[in-house]
Structure 1
Amino acid sequence: MERKFMSLPSSISTSEIEPNGTFSNNNSYKNCTNENFKRDFYPIVYLIIFVWGALGNGFSIYIFLQPHKKSTSVNVFMLNLAISDLLFTTTLPFRADYYIRGSNWIFGDLACRIMSYSMYVNMYSSIYFLTVLSIMRFLATVHPFRFLHVTSIRSAWVLCGIIWIFIMASSTMLLNSGSEQKGNVTLCLELNLNKIIKLKTMNYISLVVGFLLPFCTLNICYLLIIRALLKMEVPESRLRVSHRKALTTIAIALIIFLLCFLPYHILRTFHLAVWEVNTCRERLHKAVIITLALAAANTCFNPLLYYFVGENFKERLRSAFRKGHPQKTKYSCLGCVWLKK
């Protein structure tokens, strides 16, 4: 199990769990029978997420940074989300190596601390960026003039900065958990279960503030947009497009929540609730292993959001491809002139 803490408002910290099947406390060290499953499952999944996530988010960042005559607050949130995902994917090869070696960490204590920190900074920053992005889409669609100052680019950068500071500062407790020597191996990503009562309390706080509050906000935005569409007639094509983009944004965000974040938070909470000393629930441990991989896979699904609902994303994409093939375009035009002659 992975020892993870995330501090939320007012110095409240929370526990995150990666069930590696290993229990450690001051008196005993019990190995649950999930080592072979982890060794086969984690490296393959993490490396797939690394390749897909690094390519998708790296390319998306490149597209977002292309100069364009029109910039929007939506792209600011998407750019920050892509940066968060790309930073996290760079840690996945190290995680894969750890499990390939049979849960033996070779990269030092500092790198071990960064592994836990990066995982949950990415998870909760993604949750908040997706939520705020959906709120901004909702406000810009249903109340386009009343909240014009809130949806400005400057406000978007300020809000992104607040989210980064909040998540990174509240996750500093993760940096207190480093590697641990056990015999001939160096453990990392392990959970010390001698403070299980405290971990349960912190988990419930994290569940409410880090997941349930944003998840309920997304659902409310989705229902309010549907209600607004049913009540008003929108003859202008531009408004119809904006409503469609708002619905699509929130719908994709909800799918990511349901697929990536909801299963993990449910099983993590259930696992802590039923945990008992010297009890190994192998099926439950495997289920949480799978849901943690799904949580990490959110980095692969976010580029779909950029492509389908990013402002001017397709135009920027076409512009980037034209810049990448200037010679081909030039010679094609010369050929056209020659044929006309």
Structure 2
Amino acid sequence: MSYSLYVNMYGSIYFLTVLSIVRFLATVHPFRHLHVASIKSAWILCGSIWIFIMASSVMLLKSGSEPKGNMTACLELNPKKITKLLIMNHIALVVGFLLPFCTLSICYLLIIRVLLKVEVPESGLRVSHRKALITVIIALILFLLCFLPYHILRTLHLVTWEFGKCKKNLQKAVVITLALAASNSCLNPFLYYFAGENFKDRLRSAFRKGHPQKAKTKGNFAICVQSKKKVRMEGVIR
């Protein structure tokens, strides 16, 4: 259970991070990296993420249940292995959260910077431009709200446990923030449905009978206006 839970959570974090990098390249360097955006590259990248996350979480399969008298306690901390758990937590905190969070934040902030600099003359494009900004900002806020509280409280819980100061309220708070972290998988589809026309149209076409119509592209692709010295970006939602 622990293995499945953490593979899912850190897989989500890494996929969201890679998505932010793709958006950054599509917005800031739309023509330079067109050859990279292919179906084959996407499959290789997704497979690499799954393999990395599943392999790095193998340690969770070696422990998890402890005998207590006539019963076996599952999903509980073992005081004898607290040092090992702290080391695993610090590695997961840096590699699984801080590194992806810094990457995602930098990409999204650069995207916001580019979008704010763009002058949008047409009303239709102005709506798409505003929607792109809102989507990026909400995605960043959701990432923070879902994953930051859990990683902070989990670290505090393990540190207090090491010093023999187990606090029930802190333990309950960790469970609540863990549920909040898992809710990210539920919140993101709503975000993309209400903010992305292309996502919405493709979802509708999946439920239509017969041949699905082509998804509308209004506001969903980077619209580039090239001049000698600059490229103006209109929209970023894919």
Give the TM-score range, shorter chain. Answer: 0.7 to 0.9
Aligned partner of 2:119 among 222, 226, 233: 233
Distance 1:142 1:234, change over 3 A: farther
Task: Out of 141-150 and 123-132, give the one that drifted further.
Answer: 141-150
Distance in 1 (CA, whole Å) between partners of 2:129 and 2:109 is 13
Q: For residues 37-92 of structure 1, what are the alpha-carbon distances to aligned partners after superposition, in whole Å with 9 as ceiling and x for unaligned?
A: xxxxxxxxxxxxxxxxxxxxxxxxxxxxxxxxxxxxxxxxxxxxxxxxxxxxxxxx
Structure 1 letter corresponding to 2:189? P
Q: How does 1:12-51 map to 2 (within 5 A)?
A: none
TM-score by length of 1: 0.55
* Structure 1 residue ranges, 4+ long, deviating more than 4 angstroms after superposition: 234-246
CA distance in 1, matches of 2:6, 2:181: 10
In terms of mean alpha carbon deviation, does 141-150 or 181-190 score higher? 181-190
| Aligned mates of 1:239, 1:301 — CA distance in 2 | 26
Cα drift, residue 215 of structure 1: 0.8
* Corresponding position of 1:174: 60
Question: What is the alpha-carbon distance in structure 2 between the residues aligned to residue 237 and residue 146 of structure 1?
Answer: 28
Match status 1:116 vs 2:116 = no
Counterpart position of 1:212 = 98
Tell me how far apart the structure 2 counterparts of residues 283 and 254 of structure 1 sit (CA, whole Å): 28
Distance 1:252 1:158, change over 3 A: farther
- Among 273, 290, 310, the alignment partner of 2:159 is 273
Partners of 1:222 and 1:247 within 8 A in 2: no
What SS class does the counterpart of residue 208 from structure 2 fall into? helix
1:156 aligned onto 2:31: no
CA, structure 1 residues 286+236, in 2 after alignment: closer, same or farther (shift >3 Å)? same
**1:282 partnered with 2:175:** no
What is the rounded CA distance, in whole Å, between the counterparts of 2:121 and 2:142 in structure 1? 31
Trace 1:293-332 onto structure 2 (pairs within 5 A).
293-309=179-195, 312-323=198-209
Deviation of 1:310 (Å): 5.3
Residue matched to 2:20: 134
Does the CA contact (< 8 Å) of 2:66 and 2:78 recur in 1? Answer: no
Three-state SS of the structure 1 residue aligned to 2:209 is: helix
5 Å-filtered alignment, 1:195-210, equals 195-210=81-96
Unaligned runs of 5+ in 2: 211-238
Q: Between the two proteins, what is the percent identity of the paired residues? A: 79
Match of 2:147 among 261, 278, 282: 261
Give the 3-state SS of the residue equivalent to 1:186 in structure 2: strand
Number of aligned positions between the proteins: 210
Q: CA–CA distance in 2 between the matches of 1:145 and 1:279?
A: 56
Q: 1:250 aligns with which of 121, 136, 143?
A: 136
Question: Which range moves more in the overlay, 159-168 or 281-290?
Answer: 281-290
Contact 1:125-1:164 within 8 A present in 2 as well: yes
Tell me, in whole angstroms, the C-alpha distance in 2 between the residues paired with 1:237 and 1:202.
51
Write the distance in 2 (CA, Å) between the matches of 1:169 and 1:309: 35
Deviation at 1:235, TM superposition (A): 5.0
Instruction: Give the unaligned 5+ runs of structure 1.
Output: 1-114, 325-341
Higher relative CO (Cα under 8 Å, sequence separation at least 6) belongs to: 1
2-structure distance, mates of 1:157, 1:241: 33
Would you say the 8 A contact 1:134–1:249 is kept in 2? no
Per-residue CA deviations over 1:228-249 (Å, capped at 9, x if unaligned) read: 1233435578976775565445
| Structure 2 CA distance for partners of 1:247 and 1:131, relative to 1, 3 Å | farther
Look up the match of 1:54.
Answer: none
Aligned to 2:218: none
Residues 11-35 of structure 1: CA deviation (Å, up to 9, x unaligned): xxxxxxxxxxxxxxxxxxxxxxxxx
Q: CA deviation at 1:223?
A: 1.5
Question: 1:218·1:250 contact (CA, 8 Å) conserved in 2?
Answer: no
Q: CA deviation at 1:144?
A: 0.8
What whole-Å deviation, never above 9, does each CA across 1:294-336 have from its counterpart, x for those lacking one? 1222222122134135573222233234329xxxxxxxxxxxx
CA distance in 2, matches of 1:199, 1:253: 30
TM-score with structure 2 setting the length: 0.76
For the 8 Å contact 1:179–1:187, the answer to whether it is kept is yes
Change (3 A) 1:276 1:137: closer
